[in-house]
Chain A
Amino acid sequence: MTPLVSTGKRIPDYLNAAYGLKSWLFTTDHKRIALLYMASVTMFFFLGGLMAVLIRLELVTPQGDLVEPDVYNRLFTMHGIIMVFFFLIPAIPATLGNFLIPIMIGAKDLAFPRINLGSWYVYNAGGLFTMYSILNGGVDTGWTFYTPFSTTFSNTYVLATGLGIFITGFSSIMTGLNFLVTIHRMRAPGLTWFRLPLFVWAHYATSIIMLLGTPVLAITVLLVALERSFHIGVFDPAYGGDPILFQHLFWFYSHPAVYIMVLPAMGVISELITCFARKRVFGYRFIAYSSVAIAVLGFLVWGHHMFTTGQSIYASTIFSVLSMLVAVPSAIKVFNWTATLYRGSISWDTPMLYALGFIGLFTIGGLTGVMLATLGIDIHVHDTYFVVAHFHYIMVGGTIMGYLGGIHFWWPKITGRMYPAFWSKFAAITIFIGFNLTFFPQFILGYMGMPRRYHAYPDEWQVLNVMSSAGASILGVGYLIPMIYLAWSMRYGPRAEANPWGAVGLEWEIQSPPTAHNFETEPVVDKEAYAYTAEQGYVPPTKEAEFV
């Protein structure tokens, strides 16, 4: 396919449009901001990963011998806070979403480029507060900040960390707002709602959650801060306050937050599956609507985190039923992806390995989620490693597989370079194996009753814990390999063509890497998003993607 650039004179791509540190720190180009975000979230990912290493090391032996109990409390707390708020939530929207949404809808930039840049600074300002708290010893409340421990009893850096989360929340709001307005107002001529790539639909739904949920987290964290610093104790039982109310407000955001993490990954998977099966997506509208359904239903299920709080049995029953209901739109997606694969001409490139890995891991995570939504099982395994395994299957098995799949898919577009085929496939398989070895034993441990957040455990659970820690080291290696070859590829990788995978979509019709304004002539869209049939003029690539 030829790039839309046809003016004769060569326009520099966005990486070469300007040089120097200032051209990056003050850029309003959504593509450069995406790369800034990528650098930041990667840093936080490895910081959070470092905490995970220490946690898994401690759990190799039944005795609490590596770190003190209160250090262990801080480790799992900081691991959770960093991974959830500073990696998983921004990971796909702020990087891939930022880079791709304007291009996919045929726009030159997001609706508010300066707000977009501002969001990156806000994110980092929140990160600084959190780093400050880590360097001073961190927080020991768990990432959930339950009152009254967080408001009254914990004497760690709750205020600084809470402030960090409060601030970072605004970067999430800014991103979501930007996406919603952009998707509404800046689509190219002919690009109707049902011609949008499912990646865009997924981000639309994600942005709704960011916009409606994050402010509630902000006010909740603010109330904790007011209670700690100004005696304004709305959760304090001494004045008739209810600590459980905190949990309601917290989970009103933090359950939907799971969908902020996983919906964008689902959007990535829809793009990967169609491309590497060379097929129209099965049931486009169902996948599109199911994203919105997840966003809406996700707001009605928070009570499933509170089955053991003395919540009324009627409320719990309703929350339980609604939680199972959210599984329906998720299942629709999985079935539709599978149906898309059926009789497709499948190629096994690296992004596809991640996509298939996602489907497997997300299915396990989702089904165990349905188990947890039932009242009886939840009360049995509440606060055990079963829950830990479940949400890691969703967040790590889902979000990170989607993120890495997307990075490998769009890397040629983003950097204009290819990466080594062998090593990238090797890493994808390593991650899949390492992940399952880490977290599957935790389901069994949890079912046997091992509680989460303890640094010591009875001897009979050692074998499974050693398996988990061994898996974690394989997983760690799996994450390091892409760091190495992607860094190598940025400088030495072979040049990528405009469309190395033979994919359809506006982003593949422009050059790699794109020019600063993406399109030199405005695109006009006259077909659906997944026009992979010969009647629609699709020509499959004649050769394999050019790898090393």
Chain B
Amino acid sequence: MSDASAVQHPKLQHYFHSLRQQTETVTLGMWMFLVTEVMFFGGLFAVYALYRSQYPEAFAAASSHLPINLGAINTAVLIGSSLTMVLAVWAAQTGRQKMIAVFLLLTFVLGAAFLGIKTVEYADKWNHHLVPGPSFQFEGADPGQARMFFHLYFAMTGLHAVHMIIGMVFILMWVPRALRGEFTREWNDPVEILGLYWHFVDLVWIFLFPLLYLIGRHTG
């Protein structure tokens, strides 16, 4: 009836029996949250799929205005940040507390680099009158449909960027906790679930990059 472990771990909440149960519960919670995120982005991807299948030429023409090299660099940067995040989780699981902070900070820097490059791209769109609004101009067959592409481009990458920013705020909040030695081999749920979140946000970009930057490229 009473708890098997005589000494309660300070991080064990009173409504759980064991750290193991607590960890399983917390990670299941994050997975379920990611399911809601899939549905959230899924709605947007469905809108994209519909309009792209309706206006393939206009979407390909508009897509050719995106800088493929910047997009590729950003993809590499984000994959790199997933690597550093994995290393942070590994450091937590093996009890290397300083390393957790180091890898979290590296992840933050790579995330900031991604957003920096994204800002350059957005500024470039603004200068070329490709931002939806009164000053939008597009030289091509179907400026209206091309503008739809840019609606989706800004909605999808913007929402992705918001998710990046939220993740980076949490990374910054976790760094001092790591330095204080809060995350141990026995208990490191916050690092674990932040990792899950970060990989998810990374994965969204892995879909966004080909869907937005690479359409119509193979036809020249």
A353 interfacial by beta-carbon distance below 8 Å: no
Contact with A along B107-121 (1 / 0, CB 8 A): 000000000000000
Residues of B within 8 A of A517 (CB): 14-15
**Partner pick for A245 among B47, B133, B151, CB 8 A cutoff:** B47
A181-B32 contact given A111-B25, A219-B43, A249-B43, CB 8 Å threshold = yes
Closest Cβ neighbor of A114 among chain B residues: B13
Contact with B along A82-114 (1 / 0, CB 8 A): 000000000000000000000000011101110
**Partner pick for A239 among B24, B33, B133, B144, CB 8 A cutoff:** B144
Stretch from B48-56, B66-74, B168-176 that touches the partner: B48-56
Kindly identify, within residues 207 to 235 of chain A, every residue whose CB is under 8 Å from any CB belonging to chain B.
211-216, 218-220, 223, 226, 230-234
Please give the distance in Å from A460's CB to the nearest CB on chain B. Answer: 45
25 A-B pairs with CB atoms under 8 Å apart are A109-B15, A111-B25, A180-B32, A186-B21, A211-B39, A212-B39, A215-B40, A215-B42, A216-B42, A216-B43, A226-B155, A231-B134, A232-B151, A234-B47, A234-B155, A238-B144, A240-B51, A240-B54, A240-B144, A240-B145, A241-B148, A245-B47, A249-B46, A517-B14, A517-B15
- Give the complex CA separation of A517 and B36 in angstroms: 30
B29 touches A181 (CB 8 A): yes
**Partner pick for B36 among A112, A173, A220, CB 8 A cutoff:** A173
Closest Cβ neighbor of B39 among chain A residues: A215
A212-B24 contact given A113-B15, A233-B132, A241-B148, CB 8 Å threshold = no
Residues of B within 8 A of A233 (CB): 132, 151
A186-B15 contact given A177-B29, A239-B151, A521-B1, CB 8 Å threshold = yes
A185 interfacial by beta-carbon distance below 8 Å: yes
B37 touches A215 (CB 8 A): yes
Chain B interface residues toward A at CB < 8 A = 1, 14-16, 21, 24-25, 28-29, 32-33, 35-37, 39-44, 46-47, 50-51, 54-55, 58, 132-134, 136, 142, 144-145, 147-148, 151-152, 154-155
B44 touches A219 (CB 8 A): yes
Please give the distance in Å from B18's CB to the nearest CB on chain A. Answer: 11
**Partner pick for A231 among B32, B35, B58, B133, CB 8 A cutoff:** B133
Chain A interface residues toward B at CB < 8 A = 107-109, 111-113, 173, 177-178, 180-181, 184-186, 211-216, 218-220, 223, 226, 230-234, 238-242, 245, 249, 252, 517, 521-522
Residues of B within 8 A of A241 (CB): 51, 148, 151
Residues of A within 8 A of B14 (CB): 108, 517
A216 touches B40 (CB 8 A): yes
B50 touches A231 (CB 8 A): no
Residues of A within 8 A of B37 (CB): 215
Closest Cβ neighbor of A232 among chain B residues: B151
A185-B1 contact given A211-B32, A238-B144, A517-B14, CB 8 Å threshold = no
Please give the distance in Å from A205's CB to the nearest CB on chain B. Answer: 15
B35 touches A230 (CB 8 A): no
In the A-B complex, list the 7 residue pairs whose CB atoms are closest, starting with the nearest.
A219-B43, A215-B40, A215-B39, A108-B15, A109-B15, A185-B25, A240-B145
Residues of B within 8 A of A239 (CB): 144-145, 147-148, 151
Residues of A within 8 A of B1 (CB): 521-522
A218 touches B40 (CB 8 A): yes
**Partner pick for B28 among A108, A181, A242, A522, CB 8 A cutoff:** A181
A177-B25 contact given A230-B132, A521-B1, CB 8 Å threshold = no
- Give the complex CA separation of A517 and B16 in angstroms: 12
- Give the complex CA separation of A91 and B6 in angstroms: 41
- Give the complex CA separation of A234 and B24 in angstroms: 40
**Partner pick for B148 among A108, A180, A234, CB 8 A cutoff:** A234
B43 touches A181 (CB 8 A): no
A108-B15, A185-B24, A517-B15 provided; 7 other pairs, C-beta below 8 A? Answer: A111-B29, A113-B15, A186-B15, A215-B39, A215-B42, A223-B47, A240-B58
**Partner pick for A211 among B36, B136, B155, CB 8 A cutoff:** B36
Please give the distance in Å from B150's CB to the nearest CB on chain A. Answer: 8
Residues of A within 8 A of B134 (CB): 231
Closest Cβ neighbor of A212 among chain B residues: B39
- Give the complex CA separation of A186 and B25 in angstroms: 8
A240 touches B148 (CB 8 A): yes
Residues of A within 8 A of B39 (CB): 211-213, 215-216
Closest Cβ neighbor of B31 among chain A residues: A181
Please give the distance in Å from B177's CB to the nearest CB on chain A. Answer: 16
Residues of A within 8 A of B144 (CB): 238-240
- Give the complex CA separation of A177 and B31 in angstroms: 10
A177 touches B32 (CB 8 A): yes
Please give the distance in Å from A246's CB to the nearest CB on chain B. Answer: 10
